[in-house]
Structure 1
Amino acid sequence: MLDFKIFIVEDDKWYGGLLHHYLSQNPDYEVTLIGSGKECLAQLHRKPDLVTIDFGLPDMNGEELYKKIKQAQPNLPVIIISAQEKITTAVDLLKMGAEDYLVKDDNTQQLLWKAIIRLRENTSLKNEISELKAELKTKYDYSRSIIGNSPALQTVFKMIDKAAGSLINVSVSGETGTGKELVARAVHYNSARSGHAFVPVNMAAIPRELVESELFGYEKGAFTGAQNKKIGRFEEANGGTLFLDEIGEMDLNIQSKLLRVLQEKELTRLGGTSKVKLDFRLVVATHKNLAEEVKKGNFREDLYYRIVGLPVTLPPLRERKEDILLLTQHFLTAYCKENKVAEIKVSPAARDKLVSYAYPGNIRELKSVVELAAVMSENNCIEPEDITFLSGNNHDVDTVLNTELTLREYTRLIIRNYLKRYDDNVLLVAEKLDIGKSTIYKMLQTGEIEGA
Structure 2
Amino acid sequence: MALSLPFKIFVVEDNEWYGELLVHRLGQNPNHDVQRFTTARACLDQLGELPDLITLDYSLPDSKGEQVLRQIRERLPTTEVIVISGQEDVTTAVTMLRQGAYDYLVKDENTLARLWNIVSKVSEQASLRRENTQLRQQIGGRFGPGQAILGEHATVQLVHTLIAKAARTTITVSVSGETGTGKELVAKAIHFQSSQASKPFVAVNMAAIPRELVESELFGHEKGAFTGAVTRRVGRLEEANGGTLFLDEIADLDLSLQAKLLRVLQEREVTRVGGNQTVAFDVRLIVATHRDLLAEVQAGRFREDLYYRLLGLPVVLPPLRQRGNDVLLLADAFVRAFCSLNNLPPRQFTECARARLLEHPFPGNVRELKAVVELATVLADGELIQATDLPLRSGHAMQTPGAQRSLREQTTAIVQKCLDETNGDVLAVATRLSIGKSTIYRMIQQEELHIG
Deviations along 1:106-130, whole A, 9 cap, x unmatched?
xxxxxxxxxxxxxxx9xx9599837
Shift of 1:386: 1.1
- The share of aligned pairs that are identical, in percent, is 49
Separation in 1 of the partners of 2:185 and 2:216? 26
Q: Could you tell me which residue of structure 2 aligns to residue 175 of structure 1?
A: 178
Q: What are the residue-to-residue correspondences of 1:195-214 with 2, within 5 Å?
A: 195-214=198-217
Shift of 1:142: 2.1
Separation in 2 of the partners of 1:125 and 1:183? 26
**In the alignment, is residue 353 of structure 1 matched against residue 353 of structure 2?**
no
Q: Could you tell me which residue of structure 1 aligns to residue 131 of structure 2?
A: 129
RMSD, aligned α-carbons: 3.3
Q: Could you say if the C-alpha distance between residues 155 and 126 of structure 1 is closer, same or farther in structure 2, counting changes exceeding 3 Å?
A: closer
Separation in 1 of the partners of 2:284 and 2:397? 46
**In the alignment, is residue 374 of structure 1 matched against residue 377 of structure 2?**
yes
Q: Could you say if the C-alpha distance between residues 447 and 300 of structure 1 is closer, same or farther in structure 2, counting changes exceeding 3 Å?
A: farther
Runs of 5+ consecutive residues of structure 2 not aligned to the other structure = 1-29, 31-122, 414-441
Determine which of 254, 279, 282 is the counterpart of 2:282. 279
Shift of 1:136: 1.8
Shift of 1:143: 0.9
Q: Could you say if the C-alpha distance between residues 218 and 394 of structure 1 is closer, same or farther in structure 2, counting changes exceeding 3 Å?
A: closer
Between 125-134 and 356-365, report the one with greater CA deviation. Answer: 125-134
Q: Could you say if the C-alpha distance between residues 202 and 416 of structure 1 is closer, same or farther in structure 2, counting changes exceeding 3 Å?
A: farther
Query: What TM-score, normalized by structure 1, do the two folds share?
Result: 0.60
Counterpart code for 2:159: V
Q: Could you say if the C-alpha distance between residues 365 and 275 of structure 1 is closer, same or farther in structure 2, counting changes exceeding 3 Å?
A: same
Determine which of 305, 311, 315 is the counterpart of 1:312. 315
Q: What are the residue-to-residue correspondences of 1:127-206 with 2, within 5 Å?
A: 129=131, 133=136, 136-206=139-209
Deviations along 1:190-226, whole A, 9 cap, x unmatched?
1111121010000000000010011110111111221
- In the alignment, is the contact (CA less than 8 A) between 1:294 and 1:301 conserved in 2? yes
Q: Could you say if the C-alpha distance between residues 321 and 126 of structure 1 is closer, same or farther in structure 2, counting changes exceeding 3 Å?
A: closer
- In the alignment, is the contact (CA less than 8 A) between 1:316 and 1:362 conserved in 2? yes
Deviations along 1:387-406, whole A, 9 cap, x unmatched?
111672578499469xxxxx
**In the alignment, is residue 296 of structure 1 matched against residue 294 of structure 2?**
no
Q: Could you say if the C-alpha distance between residues 337 and 190 of structure 1 is closer, same or farther in structure 2, counting changes exceeding 3 Å?
A: same
Q: Which has the larger radius of gyration?
A: 1
Between 208-217 and 381-390, report the one with greater CA deviation. Answer: 381-390
**In the alignment, is residue 365 of structure 1 matched against residue 368 of structure 2?**
yes
Q: Could you tell me which residue of structure 1 aligns to residue 253 of structure 2?
A: 250
Determine which of 312, 322, 325 is the counterpart of 1:322. 325
Q: What are the residue-to-residue correspondences of 1:401-440 with 2, within 5 Å?
A: none
- In the alignment, is the contact (CA less than 8 A) between 1:416 and 1:449 conserved in 2? no
- Equivalences, count: 296
Deviations along 1:333-371, whole A, 9 cap, x unmatched?
111111101110111111111111100000000001111
Deviations along 1:84-117, whole A, 9 cap, x unmatched?
xxxxxxxxxxxxxxxxxxxxxxxxxxxxxxxxxx
Shift of 1:137: 3.1
Shift of 1:273: 0.9
Counterpart code for 2:171: I
Separation in 2 of the partners of 1:376 and 1:248? 39
Determine which of 228, 238, 242 is the counterpart of 2:231. 228
Task: Find runs of 4+ consecutive structure 1 residues off by over 2 angstroms.
Answer: 124-135, 390-401, 412-417, 444-451
Q: Could you say if the C-alpha distance between residues 316 and 207 of structure 1 is closer, same or farther in structure 2, counting changes exceeding 3 Å?
A: same
Q: What are the residue-to-residue correspondences of 1:71-110 with 2, within 5 Å?
A: none
Separation in 2 of the partners of 1:199 and 1:450? 29
- In the alignment, is the contact (CA less than 8 A) between 1:360 and 1:391 conserved in 2? no
Q: Could you say if the C-alpha distance between residues 256 and 148 of structure 1 is closer, same or farther in structure 2, counting changes exceeding 3 Å?
A: same
